[in-house]
Amino acid sequence: MYALMFILGLIVGKQQNLLVDNKGTTVVDDPSHHPNIPEWARDEHSISLAKAFEVGSGGLTDKSTNHKYQIMYHRYLSPILIRSSKRKFRMLEIGLGCAPGGGMIKNKPGGSTLAWRYLFSSSTIELDLHVMEYDAECATKWEKENPMIATKVHSGDASSTEDLDRVYRDSGGLPFDMIIDDASHLNEHQIFTFLHMVQYVSNGGIYVIEDIHSSCMAWKANTGGGTPSGLRVQGTRGCMETTKGNPTIFSKLVEWQKPLITKHSPFPNVTSIEIGLEAAVITKHY
């Protein structure tokens, strides 16, 4: 009987968007009560976010086309924006999308950055948007041609602790509410960058690793404009080792999930590691 009541309570809570206030009281949260939150965040489903990605980027991001990242971002960002009392949302995306010939999508970089600015354009929450790009020439050119989109486009190597720390300092030296790794997709880079940057995620924030199918597939790696590097993403059919026998990002995610089963955090304040459609989300405790 009690089990049935508990299950019914979960169902009703989901339907009514029940939240717990700072006094421990359960209250009903109606997204319509947040007119200053972007429409996509107030929408019950991720459809409007998918459209916003496409419109905001001018068709220059594949986050909601080739990939279905809108489902993940809607699930995590909507409650963060609705519940947060912060007036500023700090984020860092690693990877501007520079590539030989210009950019990854339609030979133009920066589509994702354009999309993020658009997604927050109707919100009273200030977006403090930082981007890190390996190709310094491309980063400088894009920022000059697209003023006021990113707070700052930083150049640097995501496999360098010195560069990562410099970007953190130059961005203001405060934790980010969201960090996204959409850079080279090399497994060793995905692992290295996360291990160093998770410390710079705020409590209640998330770290997103896109394109984790790098564990299971192989393709030419993108490391920016200029001459192709010749590096390859070296995933294998088993998804646990690269072609060189090194651990993949998927194998490390599974390894990091194990302590959570026994109520231990694999990293300070990390309470959740979710693997979704071609991406992973690591959450820090509120």
- pLDDT tens digits, 275-286: 999 999 999 987
pTM of the model: 0.88
In this prediction, residue 101 has a pLDDT band, given cuts at 50, 70 and 90, of confident
Distance CA(135)–CA(272), nearest Å, equals 33
Residues linked to residue 68 through DSSP beta bridges, in sequence order: none
- 36-284, what's its fold? Rossmann fold (3.40.50)
Average confidence (pLDDT) over 231-250: 96
Choose among 217, 206, 285, 212: nearest CA to 252. 212
pLDDT at site 31: 54
Choose among 177, 209, 178: nearest CA to 193. 209
Does position 1 have pLDDT exceeding 90, yes or no? Answer: no
In this prediction, residue 124 has a pLDDT band, given cuts at 50, 70 and 90, of confident
Does position 15 have pLDDT exceeding 70, yes or no? Answer: no
In this prediction, residue 48 has a pLDDT band, given cuts at 50, 70 and 90, of very high
pLDDT at site 34: 64
What is the SS3 assignment for 205? strand
Which has more pLDDT, 222 or 274? 274
Does position 2 have pLDDT exceeding 50, yes or no? Answer: no
Choose among 1, 87, 81, 15: nearest CA to 44. 15
Only one residue has tokens 């999309």, namely 115
In this prediction, residue 130 has a pLDDT band, given cuts at 50, 70 and 90, of very high
For 124-163, b where at least 16 C-beta lie within 10 A, e where not — what string?
ebebbbbbbbbbbebbebbbeeeeebbbbbbbbbbbeeeb
pLDDT at site 83: 80
CB half-sphere exposure, 286, CA atoms < 13 A: 7
Render pLDDT for 158-187 as a digit per residue (tens, 0 to 9).
999 999 999 999 999 999 999 999 999 999
Rounded mean pLDDT of the chain?
89
Give me the phi and psi of 248, to 5 degrees please: -90, 170
For residue 177, give the H/E element and its range.
strand 176-181
pLDDT at site 32: 54
Render pLDDT for 251-268 as a digit per residue (tens, 0 to 9).
999 999 999 999 999 999
**Structure tokens, 101:** 């010939």
* Domain(s) of CATH 3.40.50.150: residues in the chain: 36-284
Render pLDDT for 132-159 as a digit per residue (tens, 0 to 9).
999 999 999 999 999 999 999 999 999 9
